[in-house]
Amino acid sequence: MDELSLVALVVGAVYLGAFACIYRILLTYRTTQGAIAWVIALIGLPYLAVPMFVLFGRHRFGGYVKARRLGDESLTNLLNRFEQQTTSIPIPASERFTDELQVLCRLGRQPFTDGNRCTLLRDGEATFEALFEAMEDAEHYILLEFYIVRSDRVGRRIKSILERKLAQGVEVWFLYDDIGSVWLPRKYLNQLAAAGARVASFGNGNIRRRRFQINFRNHRKLLVCDGKIGFVGGINLGDEYLGTAMDQEPWRDTHCRIEGPAVTGLQLAWLEDWNWASNDFPSLDWAPVDNQPGDDEVLMLPTGPADSWETCTLFFLNCINNARTRLWIASPYFVPDFQIMNALQLAALRGVDVRILIPEKSDSRLIGLAAYSYLVQACKTGIGIYRYQPGFMHQKVILVDDRYAAVGTANMDNRSMRLNFEITAITTARHFIRSVESMLEHDLDNSRLMIESDYKDRSILFRLCCRAVRLLAPLL
């Protein structure tokens, strides 16, 4: 074969691959913007776009779906038992348990439960203190699942506690994301495993099922002790949440502690992730809680690309569309798609007090620029965008009227809505709502309300950069 024929063969193979990718996009795309961006790239720059699409272009976590189906009977039986607990709130129930809350139950395939006690943990110091205490008090098992684990002071304290509890006969399952925890030393994991912990990364599932799916992340941050006490929120395991990391601004974040039957929902989400990562179905405590620690109504809402619907997107839309008087959202990454932005504008036009709290100082320059491009749209309809000043705000919190509050891991960006595995705790508890309100009021007092001139008075180059980066929103 001469050189010219070889070149023609390579070019033909590249374009054949490009058209195969386009075929897949046309059959499976979820957003028009993302589909158009990929199609243009595949036609114009196939040599670059084809390998990029293979690595990053898929929007369904196929391997996880297969794993879910393989373990479906056991998981379904557990879920059915959970829904039939006496603490589960029936549908329909009281007037307070409205249609929008019933929708969330269907989205997450989990029930609202009564008899819980929720505690808001307003910062890293309060969160780690509560995490350490719960692990120290564990008698039977500890389940951990975190996107980022560091081998710093916090990470070493966690490992020390786990090793001590393992020596006491407490079982430990440790699940981390291999992308988020890419800098975690292998020695850290090996020492935990040597002490008796079961350790797995979310990328450890069957290699044939997970190949070319590195664009998907397990962004969940949760802890369960003995099936009775659970934690969920935005805080990973690292010193930055204490403001002690030498090369970073202090991180402002939020978590919550939950005690009661809702922890079963948290444990179910962990189990499904663990089953995918390790092909293991551990025996855990699923007995209904006898002594209810409180009277808070709580729902655990796991979301991710293995769901039948865009569960996270529908969660945000449900909150926005049903807000009546107030909608306060804190998110470190604010890159909404057109349907989320339209819903926010409609809420503001209905007279809802819509406030979006984002960081002034971000760990992503691109996302920080993209947020500016929404400012004019927001201001014209009365949406308030506030930039938190002291450090990097990383919390993911929603307050809807005085009716319910949510604390979790999901951001208002394409990655959380379509690519990441996330989890959110939602509660109607009045005391918790008041705590969230007080916390957000304090954060808003430490924030700057943006105005149109913050964007319009900037240079044309800055505005062009903001608009250009916004085009990349489906890929951010």
Report pLDDT digits (tens) over 21-56. Answer: 887 777 766 666 667 777 777 787 777 777 777 766
Compute CA distances 54 → 23, 38, 461, whole Å: 13, 11, 33
Question: Which of 95-99, 153-157, 411-415, 452-456 is the most confident on average?
Answer: 153-157
Our answer to whether residue 140 is catalytic in this structure is no
- Would you say residue 211 has pLDDT above 50? no
- Reported as a single tens digit per residue, the pLDDT across 191-206 is 999 999 999 998 765 4
Sign (positive or negative) of CA dihedral 68, 73, 78, 79: positive
**pLDDT above 70 (res 105):** yes
Q: Which two tokens stand for residue 161?
A: 């506690």
Q: What is the pLDDT of residue 262?
A: 95
Residue 369 above 90 pLDDT? no
pLDDT band for position 95 (cuts 50, 70, 90): low
Catalytic residue, candidates 226, 273, 307, 413: 226
Q: 159: pLDDT confidence band, cut at 50, 70 and 90?
A: very high
The answer for residues whose C-beta is within 8 angstroms of residue 344's C-beta and 6 or more apart is: 320, 327, 336, 354, 356, 378, 381, 383
Q: Which residues fall within 8 angstroms of residue 77, CB to CB, at 6 or more apart? A: none
Instruction: Please tell me which residue in 59, 159, 165, 394 is annotated as part of the active site.
Output: 394
Residue tagged active-site, from 159, 221, 228, 255: 221
Q: What is the band of 135 on the pLDDT scale with cuts at 50, 70, 90? A: very high
Most confident of 14-23, 210-219, 247-256: 247-256
- Contact of 472 with 56, CB cutoff 8 Å: no
Q: Give yes or no: 394 in active site.
A: yes
**Token couple for 261:** 């039957």
Query: Which pLDDT tens digit goes with each residue over 289-314?
Result: 777 889 999 999 999 988 888 899 99
Q: What's the CA gap between 275 and 320, in Å, rounded?
A: 34
CA 15 to chain centre: 36
Q: How confident is the model at residue 7 (pLDDT cuts 50, 70, 90)?
A: low
From residue 19, alpha-carbon distances to 6, 11, 50 in Å are 20, 12, 9
Domains identified in the chain and CATH numbers:
3-56 (no CATH), 62-298 (3.30.870.10), 311-475 (3.30.870.10)
Environment class of 374 (CB within 10 Å of its CB; exposed 0-12, middle 13-18, buried 19+): buried
Q: How many residues does the chain have?
A: 476
Average pLDDT across the chain, whole number: 86
Kindly report, residue by residue over 10-21, the tens digit of the pLDDT: 677 777 877 788
Is 361 annotated as catalytic? no
219 catalytic residue (yes or no): yes
DSSP letters, 255-315, are: EEEEESTTHHHHHHHHHHHHHHHHS-------PPPSS----EEEEEEEE-TTSSS-HHHHH
Instruction: Identify whether 456 is a catalytic site residue.
Output: no
**How far lies 257's CA from each of 176, 220, 287, in Å?**
20, 15, 20
Query: Which of 59, 396, 413, 443 is labelled catalytic?
Result: 396
**The residue to which tokens 């802890």 are assigned:** 223
pLDDT computed for residue 237 by the predictor? 96
Q: Which of 401, 402, 431, 454 is catalytic?
A: 401
Position 66 pLDDT exceeds 60: no
Percent with pLDDT over 90 in the chain: 53
pLDDT at 164: 97
> What is the per-residue pLDDT across 405-448, written as a single tens digit (0 to 9) for each?
999 999 999 889 988 999 999 999 999 999 999 999 999 999 99
CA distance 302 to 299: 10
Q: Which listed residue (219, 228, 255, 273) is catalytic?
A: 219
Residue 215's CB: how many other CB atoms inside 10 A?
19
442 flagged as catalytic? no
Task: Please calculate the CA angle 185-188-191 and round it to the nearest 5 degrees.
Answer: 145
The answer to whether residue 241 scores a pLDDT higher than 60 is yes
Higher-pLDDT residue of 188 and 65 is: 188
pLDDT tier at 361 (50, 70, 90 boundaries)?
Answer: confident
